[in-house]
């Protein structure tokens, strides 16, 4: 029977890490943001979604005999679309890329063969940082699985609201937070919010650079009042499947593996 172990790196000792079976270890990094998500969801919404994605994916990977090693969530990143809203903390994109490059170097030097990025923050500046860092990590010899949810085939697996582009702090994200951390949802506010059908993806293609310019003066898009815990639970499972499949695809590619010796 395959091992069902999922490890949390931050809870381990250095000797426990030293004893890891690196042939089976896969590092999983939830990537989030601290940015406005309407008046009803917490600033850490994207990180909470990424953590739920990792938890679901890690269980699946453990069932396949791999050893998921969950890294602490990266909470800060580029978030210029939400920069005008109180509480948003936006970094320079090059800072995020450099941080992830250094993390990849450390993982490769420690003998970890694969890093998987779980990300639900869709700001174009942030996505650019992740893709740049993934390419740099691959140059170091570290295999990187990064299922970009804005791209095919992954985007096609998600909900109609997500595919519409009107999905920031709406039904899609609200449902996931209701399933993962219902205590953080401001329920009376959520239920009272009217739908906002403005599409962020359309606005981005049109050159808009902020939530306000894209038609989201309250920092939400979509239909928050339609969110349900049940939809959130189903979506988390889909996100876990996506992460699992991206990791398995990466492991089957030729020439993967670290070139950096510890």
* Residues 195, 158: Cα–Cα separation, whole Å: 19
Residue 262 domain flag: no
Number of domains in the chain: 1
Residue 65, SS3 per DSSP: coil
Residue 101 domain flag: yes
Domain that holds residue 32: 7-252
Question: What's this model's pTM, rounded to 2 decimal places?
Answer: 0.94
Residue 258 domain flag: no
Residue 22 domain flag: yes
pLDDT in tens, 146-182: 999 999 999 999 999 999 999 999 999 999 999 999 9
pLDDT in tens, 120-146: 999 999 999 999 999 999 998 899 999
List Cβ neighbours of 221 (8 Å cut-off, separation of 6 or more): 165, 166, 167, 168, 169, 170, 196, 197, 198, 199, 200, 211, 214, 215
CATH of the domain at 181: 3.40.50.10310
Q: Would the pLDDT of 196 be above 70?
A: yes
Q: Would the pLDDT of 262 be above 60?
A: no
pLDDT in tens, 228-249: 999 999 999 999 999 999 999 9
Q: Would the pLDDT of 260 be above 60?
A: no
Confidence band, pLDDT 50/70/90 cuts, at residue 259 = very low
Higher pLDDT, 218 or 253: 218
Average pLDDT along the chain? 94
């Amino acid at each position: 029977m395959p091992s069902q172990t999922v490890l949390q790196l931050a809870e381990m000792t250095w000797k426990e890490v030293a004893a890891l079976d690196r042939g089976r270890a896969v590092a999983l990094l939830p990537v989030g943001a601290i940015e406005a998500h309407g008046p009803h969801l917490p600033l850490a919404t994207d990180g909470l979604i990424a953590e739920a994605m990792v938890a679901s994916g890690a269980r699946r990977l453990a069932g396949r005999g791999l050893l998921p090693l969950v890294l602490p969530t990266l909470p800060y990143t580029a978030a210029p679309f939400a920069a005008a809203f109180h509480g948003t903390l936006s970094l320079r994109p090059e800072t995020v890329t450099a941080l992830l490059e250094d993390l990849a170097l450390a993982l490769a030097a420690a003998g970890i063969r694969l890093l998987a990025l779980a990300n639900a923050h869709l700001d174009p500046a942030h996505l650019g940082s992740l893709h740049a860092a993934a390419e740099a990590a691959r140059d170091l010899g570290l295999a990187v699985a990064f299922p970009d949810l804005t791209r095919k085939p992954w985007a096609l697996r998600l909900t109609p609201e997500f595919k519409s582009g009107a999905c920031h702090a709406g039904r899609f994200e609200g449902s996931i937070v209701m399933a993962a951390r219902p205590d953080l949802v401001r329920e009376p506010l959520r239920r009272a919010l009217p739908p906002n059908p403005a599409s962020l993806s359309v606005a981005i293609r049109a050159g808009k650079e902020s939530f306000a310019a894209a038609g989201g003066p309250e920092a939400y898009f979509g239909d928050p009042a339609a969110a349900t815990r049940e939809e959130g639970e189903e979506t988390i499972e889909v996100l876990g499947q996506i992460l699992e499949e991206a990791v398995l695809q990466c492991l089957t590619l030729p020439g993967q593996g670290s070139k950096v010796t510890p």
